[in-house]
Chains A and B, each alone.
Chain A
Amino acid sequence: MSAELENKENTLDKNENEIALRETEGLSQGQIIFRRFVRHKAAMTSLIVLVFIILFSYTGSGIHLGDSNNKITVQGWWPYQIDQIDPEGAVESMCANGIPGCPTLDLIPEFIDGTGMQVGAHPLGMDTVGTDYFALVLRGAEQSIMVMLIVGSLGVAIGTVVGAIAGFFGGIVDAVLMRLTDMFLVMPTLIIGAVIGFRFGNLGVVPLAVMLGLFAWMGLARFVRTEFLSLREREFVDAARVAGASNRRIIFKHILPNAVGVIIVSGTLLMSGAILTESALSFLGFGVRAPDVSLGLLISRYQDVFTVAPWLFWWPGVFIIAIALCVNFIGDGLRDAFDPRQKRRISLKERMQARELKSTAAAKAKA
């Protein structure tokens, strides 16, 4: 009886193995990681949302590069500009309680409240001077995403390389690089940011982001170094060396994929942090300058009208949260995809099915 049961289990196991085999037949490391990432639902949804936000804001408000003297501008599909002021329009679209620039966006359908679903001329309303708020938010999202991506990628790249080299080689190289890191660390971010903003703020958002990125890698470098210090003692590093691998190959092919969890976690934190740093700088007047805007700047500019015109506060907030969440979920998906131990979660439904299968098998075996 028990032998029969065992047999059944064995075949079950075999089937499972075969499925697992089919899943990874003839694939390289990169392909396997890609497949696993694609299967991560939260990450894929976030990726789609993020791409949508990026496309939406860039096509909507157009592309704006360069400083105030020589602008490179491509017009977007949204008719209003961030420097168009229309005080009469604001007064015209007054809310019921007498606040000008009420949002025209209405998502509640006709049969509930009567006015019906509509976008209107100024879906997110207008600000206190009568600028279209939709244009401002799109432009803000565009600039914030730019800052986030540039600071994030620069910080991750520099931090990873510095940390990897310091951790792998150790000794004098480690000492020099870490003292350099210390030097960067002791400078307060906001003061550095203020100096950078004062000097580069008027050149537009890209140079500002690049400069911020050059001062954002230190924490990541420390984490990566620690990870490398412990990983380089593992036997597979020796095995690679015996196989004839160069230092570069060992660092990038063997150790780095093992440190990817740390890099992604601190990388996503870095990116969400970048948005906040930029907001803080803009708040202090050293970041993005008017008439240009960023999401952080919008929030800080309108936080005192929160009680009377809450939409001026809500919408940039919603965009910041959406972007930061997306980045974090994508990071989570990447980390899981890189970790071979991570198996696909099994849903409750599948569990129930498996349980039924098992119990019927057991019942049959007993009978």
Chain B
Amino acid sequence: MPVFNQSRSNVIRLIFAAMFLIIAAQLFNLQIYSVKYTKLAQENALFPKRVYPNRGIIYDRNNKAILNNAILYDLMVTPSQVKNIDTAYFCQLMDIDTAEFRSRIIDAKFKNGPFRPSIFEDLLPPDLYAKLEENIWRFSGFNLQERPIRTYPFDAAAHILGYVGEVDSSVLRRSSGYQLGDYVGRTGLEQYYEKALMGQRGIEFWLKDNKNRLVGHYENKMYDTAAIAGKNLRTYIDIGLQQFAEKLMSNKVGSVVAIEPKTGGIIAMTSSPDFDPNELTGPDKQKNYAKLQLNVSAPLLNRAIKGQYPAGSTYKPLGALIALDEGVITPASGYDCHGVYLGCSRPVKCDEKFPGHAANLRLAIAHSCNSFFCNTFRLTVDNPEFHSARRGLMQWKQYVNAFGLGHRIGIDLPSEDGGNIPDTTAYDKDYNHSWNSCTMVTMGIGQDKMLVTPVQMANAMCIVANKGYFYVPHFVKSIDGETPDDTVLNKYKTKHEVLTHISDDVYETVISGMQDVTEIGTARAVRIPGINMCAKTGTAENYLIVERKRTKLKNNAMFVCFAPRENPKIAIAVVVQNAGYGAAWAAPIGSLLVEKYLNDTLRAASLKKAEDIERTDLMPKYLVRLQFIEDSTNAARHALRTHDSTNLMKYIIPSSRAALLDTFRPNPIISSGVRSPMRKPKSNFKTKKADSAR
């Protein structure tokens, strides 16, 4: 058979081979030359899931968890993958409208870029989570991410423990290791011990299919990094006492601080009005936060470290110690007081009138004689040893500073305030260099320019109880799994022997005087049988500018104490703002706390007293008016912005206006009842802010 065109078989072979070469070349290009396909494939099929470690748990002194974890879910969205979803159905599930949906998607794009997941809605309520979980496969680009949240099992210690919130840009700038959407401690121990509590975030790589459903772990978890849980904190807090203190302080403005003198460990610390810390973790936290923020009584403010109050008579034991150590008085010194101090051009009133109530130092402390301590203060400042009032004042200031007043003491909470102990420059400025001990005489009874925080007062009591030394007040006893390199707590383990040069005899004298306060003195009504409590009451004047008028408010009730005298286990400072006499309102609270802490139970009479105190409403009346001003201003702004004045009308219509202003009760601003025991010191130009929040 003749075979024609046989050479053409080679041409055909050539064509075949050429085609395969072209294919091989393209395969080389796709599989080896360009790297992008591997990456694209990973983006297609891999989902890097952030695994949040459990934050550290915070325990109280009896190892009860007072800040724990629970799991809620966040709805995350990756905007670039949101395609072809039933928006109407989605919005119906989420109970939002499509405009809101779109704006949230745009927000997410703006926040994290279109290709990275951002939070669409965080902390879903359980019923919404259940609905979404069933349908999540319908919504490409959305996924649910579990998120451990913080719970406060005792609903207490909100100010101490603090709360967590999403990181903001300032945190991101300052520290690495955070990503948008991470949670970070915002206040309290949560913020101060953030490093220990946060742990380390992990990443799990999940495979997803074309419908965006997670189908399993990638490469048997080979590339996953495990989340390392945060370290637990062990604190000195006694949650029972804390709750009791909060209960006693309800319906009042003020603060209680209780410290263990031997260690500086804080047993309880309240600031009233307070809030339920669980309000700031759940799904409604934004709403609740806004509400707290708009409340003029400033529930978010921790008054124990940020409330700066005139010390009032609670300063007197310290003044006595200083004067005794300088040798300007002796324990036997007295002052012939008849209810008023007339040593300077303006008289200072004293609450006790009967003769001999200040016959010696002990009696003067027990009866809180203003004349005696004004005199003592003047003796201290005009100490002949220093030849001038300037040096005398500076020497005095050194002592007071040594008691931990007038500067931040370094507690383990963020944003502490330092209070104020004035020096010569302050008076030089106000009085044009012409002043003497009379100018500032009321500082001897804790008024004038002296401002202290409750935690400072409690710490000063610790120093008195310890006869000269203290540990910086702090909450955290130990951090679980702490290594020697962790130096966070070292500064709290250092003993500060600031005033041990004052002899024990001097301390004993003053402490005896303080014990007399509860035996025969101003606080004899709150004596606890079987416990030798050393205490001092205080009633401090204070002023506030309301509607551009400097207004005298009702006195602040103060109380400091430590007990038992022989082996002090607890030192307490109590401030009840605008309540009246310290002996009437602050002293019972302090005494009840001591009894509860030392005896673990309360007597029947004490129980009844506790109930009475809890029920008593001592909220300052001026707050009602301030709240009205704040709310009506906001309503007016809102009305201007939206042209919707329905809310504003509430503040304009007379009937509802009267109800809101609470004008049924007489005189909302000016203090009612008790008249001031002292005359207004003229020297006080500046308003002493009773509360730095306002």
The answer to whether A and B interact is no
> Taking beta carbons and an 8 Å cutoff, which residues of B are in contact with A?
none
